Amino acid sequence: MNSITIESPSKVPAEAQRSPGYWANVLSRLRADKVAVGAGIVVLLLLGLALFGPWIAPADPYQSSMLSRLKPIGTDGYPLGTDELGRDMLSRLIVGARLSLFMGLTPVLCAFVIGSAIGILAGYAGGWVNTAIMRTIDVFYAFPSVLLAIALSGALGAGIFNSLLSLTIVFVPQIARVAEAVTAQAKGRDYVEAARASGANAFTIVRVHVLGNVLGPIFVYATSLIAVSLILASGLSFLGLGVKPPEPEWGLMLNTLRTAIYVQPWVAALPGAMIFITSIAFNLLSDGLRSAMDNKA
Amino acid sequence: MSDIDDRGGPAQPLLTIRGLTKHFALKGGLFGQGAGTVRAVDGVDFSVMKGETLGVVGESGCGKSTTARLLMQLITPSAGEVVFDGRTVGGRELSLKDFHRQVQMVFQDSYASLNPRLTIEDSIAFGPMVHGVPRREALGRAHDLLARVGLAPARFAGRYPHELSGGQRQRINIARALALQPRLVILDEAVSALDKSVEAQVLNLLMDLKAEFGLTYVFISHDLQVVRYLSDRVMVMYLGQVAELGPAEALFTDPLHPYTKALLSSMPAIDPDHRTEQAPLAGDPPNPINPPPGCRFHPRCALAAPVCSQRAPQPVPARTLHAAACLVHEPGSGHPMAAPQSRAA
């Protein structure tokens, strides 16, 4: 067994045997999860629609036609029928993906950045800093998210930017709470103690030892909020607080088509179906991600 | 690097602890106060000489680990000071960062004390990089240390903690502690979680490293055999206080404090003729929230006299050859077994 003799100190760590990193392991476990893979494919397709929608759409989503209003699904030239102004539903659903996903993802992304920063600060600082931040957060947390989103949007005024802003404000407290909890947990671990014992300052410890162990769980929680955000954003548009007509956006389309629910129920249900599929896909992907990351090894 | 050189010469203790105290306030009540305090460590004095191994023993809950964290300045003491090689720690004399370059700690839980997201080499190189060593050099040092603790760097440097066994991980924790080239290493139950064969290997490694790098150890353990094997001097703690402090051989062969005697008789004897069915110590240690009045050990003590519940014994002084905090060994204390007050002095 010559192989276990200890060789002389090597200055260049080049020939070192590498193990796959944590995220490589998560990815390989995620790939074994059929539901998550399916959900991931749906999410990718939706993102593809959002990116390339205008080029994929068979017709102009803004072109209305008084003669072909509320055609049923399967009509010649209108595979998914037409809406109350005679616009091609398929094209509007495809082009609408961009705005709908933008309205759903942006607030979660912004809230992820802001909420993580606030939560990690509160969790790592502890003491009165933690109390001050978390009790302030609790004030927002006390409101039901739908109510808070509508109240903020109403106060700020209708419009895309304002509804993005209000949704971000809705999600920041939720993400901050999760971030605070996981950071406080990580702070108590021995490896953070060991890092403190090596004389590192708080910033370095957070950067090297806390972030890597904390961002994963926060990210998973944030992805589970995407579905909620999509529905809330659609709801705001439905109430006339978000996107304005004639922009194609699923929530707004659901609103304008609701008068036609007795005439063409299947066509009227299509935007709702898109919202449903999207939120289910994001939720399943998030679930898969969580169980893939839960594994200790 | 003059900061970390030997300053006071071999006669000056490397570490002197004076009146170290840590009280944890219990939360409770409407405004989170008034629920009492846990006296985890209550007025501990001792010193660690250069190059020695000081063993610290006691039951769980006696304040061993709190003492370790206080020494390491991971928690701030309620009172008392830590003096490192003649300089008070945390003040103007010796900054915390310079202190931490010279004093390192190995934790009990080998898995929890390694960041699961960092490779072994990054974990070891972290400390030197904090102190301004360039990454390449720090990694080189990490590889040297891996080889020194018996793990081939080519095989282990790029691995993650979960891929290794408990013994391997504890070797890595030792390598990490040594990466800053410290003078004092605090080993807080560092081998307690390992099985016996691995424990022996790691203990031998610790002894070799001590000789090679001229280290000083504070070895905290509940395992009396290991402490006896490793230590030059031993400190026995009971309920946050020092019960007895003395040279290892003297303390194990001729213990002064009744608590030490009870502890030693709780060691399972290998010879069946010396085994005893009788439990040497009855009951659990009292609650450190409301320690008993007088001597804290008197409710469980075989030698307890009425005076023991009224009068606290003198604490063990830091500079002593062998002493116990017990009224029996205090002349004129009023204990029937104590020597009368010497009139000559």
Q: Which DSSP helix (H) or strand (E) runs through B83?
A: strand B79-84
- Report the Cα B129 to chain-centroid distance in Å: 27
Of B112, B114, B147, which is closest to A9 when you measure between CB atoms?
B147
pLDDT in tens, B115-142: 888 889 899 999 999 988 899 999 999 9
**Whose CA is closest to B15, among B66, B81, B107?**
B81
- Joined tokens for residue A242: 């978000």
**pLDDT of res. A255:** 80
Q: Is the pLDDT assigned to residue B88 strictly greater than 50?
A: yes
User: Chain A residue with minimal CA distance to B90?
Assistant: A199
Please state the length of chain A. Answer: 297
Closest CA to B14 of B215, B208, B176: B215
Mean pLDDT of A73-81: 75
Chain B residue with the nearest C-alpha to that of A196:
B74
Cross-chain Cβ contact B113/A194 below 8 Å: yes
**pLDDT (mean) for A254-273:** 82
For residue A3, the model assigns a pLDDT of 43
pLDDT in tens, B23-48: 888 776 555 556 678 888 888 888 89
Residue B18's SS3 state is strand
User: Which of the residues B126, B173, B208 would you substitute to probe the A interface, choosing the one with the greatest number of A C-beta atoms within 10 Å?
Assistant: B126
Would you state the structure tokens that stand for residue A12, as one six-digit string? Answer: 């260049």
Q: How confident is the model at residue B216 (pLDDT cuts 50, 70, 90)?
A: very high
The C-alpha angle with vertex B344 and arms to B338 and B345, in degrees rounded to 5, equals 85
Convert the pLDDT of each residue in B56-82 to its tens digit: 998 887 888 889 889 888 888 888 888
Q: Residue B1 pLDDT more than 60? A: no
pLDDT value at residue B279: 59
Question: What pLDDT is recorded for position A14?
Answer: 47
Given an 8 Å threshold on Cβ–Cβ distance, is B126 in contact with A6? no
Euclidean distance between CA atoms B155 and B143, whole angstroms: 10
Pick the range with the lowest mean pLDDT from A58-72, A123-137, A176-190, B215-229.
A58-72
Quick check: ipTM above 0.90?
no
Q: pLDDT band at residue A13, thresholds of 50, 70 and 90?
A: very low
Find all residues with CB under 8 Å of A117, minimum gap 6, and list them: none
Contacts of A204 in chain B (CB under 8 A): 130
Instruction: State whether A18 and B150 contact (CB < 8 Å).
Output: no
Compute the nearest-CA separation of B308 from chain A (Å): 39
Instruction: Please report residues of B whose CB lies closer than 8 A to that of A16.
Output: 121, 153-154, 157-158
B154 touches chain A (CB under 8 A): yes
Averaged pLDDT, A68-80: 74
> Would the CB atoms of A208 and B113 count as touching at under 8 Å?
no
Q: How confident is the model at residue B157, as a pLDDT?
A: 86
Residues of A with CB under 8 A from a CB of B: 4, 6-11, 13, 15-19, 21-22, 189-191, 193-200, 204, 208-209, 212-213, 296-297
pLDDT of residue B185: 93
Query: In degrees rounded to 5, what are phi and psi of residue B88?
Result: -70, 130
Residue A297 pLDDT level (bands cut at 50, 70, 90): very low
Residue B186's closest chain A neighbor by CA? A197
For B75, name the nearest residue in chain A, comparing CA atoms only. Answer: A193
What secondary structure letter does DSSP report for A213? H
More confident residue, B333 or B66: B66
Whole-angstrom CA distances from B4 to A189, B1, B8, B30 are: 29, 6, 12, 48
Residue A111: pLDDT over 90: yes
From chain B, pick out residues whose CB is under 8 angstroms from the CB of A297: 162
Considering only the beta carbons, identify the residue of B98, B101, B143 that sits closest to A10. B143
Q: Say yes or no to pLDDT of A270 above 80.
A: yes
Beta carbons of B115 and A199 less than 8 Å apart: no
What is residue B312's predicted lDDT score, i.e. its pLDDT?
83
- Choose among B105, B107, B155: nearest Cβ to A17: B155
Residues of chain A with C-beta less than 8 angstroms from the C-beta of B114: 191
**Alpha-carbon gap, residue A39 to A37, rounded angstroms:** 5
> CA-CA distances (angstroms) from residue B184 to A27, A296, B54?
43, 34, 11
Record: contact B180-A196, CB cut-off 8 A: no
* pTM passes above 0.95: no
Helix-helix angle A34-56:A89-125, to 10 degrees:
130
Q: What is the mean pLDDT of chain A?
A: 83
Please judge whether A17 and B159 are an interchain contact, meaning their C-beta atoms are less than 8 angstroms apart. Answer: yes
Residue B338 in contact with partner chain A when CB distance is under 8 A: no
Q: What is the dihedral of CA B45, B20, B173, A212, to 10 degrees?
A: 180
In chain B, what residues touch A4 (CB-CB under 8 Å)?
152
Average pLDDT of chain B, as a whole number: 84
Contacts of A25 in chain B (CB under 8 A): none
Of A15, A19, A194, the CB nearest to B107: A194
pLDDT score recorded for residue A288:
87
